[in-house]
Amino acid sequence: MWKVFLCMCGIAAVVIVNGQFDLVSQKCLDCLCEASSGCALSTQCHNEAENYFCGPYLITYSYWSEGGSPGKDPNNPQDFEVCLKDRTCAEKAVVGYMKKWGKDCDNDGNITCYDFARIHKAGPIGCNTTSVLNTPYWAIFNRCFS
């Protein structure tokens, strides 16, 4: 009975630790922003590689939507653009996206800001590849977060 109890606690501890995606720290957010655009608050929405990116985090409409659509305004068809140009609102989208998609991309047994950086750049499916590690984005992120 005691061994089963310990085993169950161990499993619960892992779930609790790995399940706390509100641990996207401000430093992590700052470095994601820095790596994305130099955290230029004046970054306008623009087309790039068949996607439409907005704001200093360079977020797409689908990322914003999957991140909970913060700032959603049914009376404003550009509500996502308004949100993503505002750093606080954009950070809510990043945190929401990581709550939905956060996972251990580098297979180190932990979900950390390094995983969030991979997900932010390559998405939840592409984050397991190493291709993001050879980009200027990753070099800036790694220098900022280290």
* Nearest to 62, CA basis, from 115, 129, 145, 125: 125
Would you give the DSSP letter of residue 47?
E
Q: Which two tokens stand for residue 56?
A: 């200093």
* pLDDT tens-digit series, residues 40-49: 999 999 888 7
What pTM did the predictor assign?
Answer: 0.82
pLDDT digit string, tens, across residues 1-50: 333 333 333 322 222 244 444 479 999 999 999 999 999 999 999 888 77
Measured CA to CA, the distance from residue 114 to residue 5 in angstroms comes to: 33
Note the CATH architecture for domain 22-145: Orthogonal Bundle (1.10)
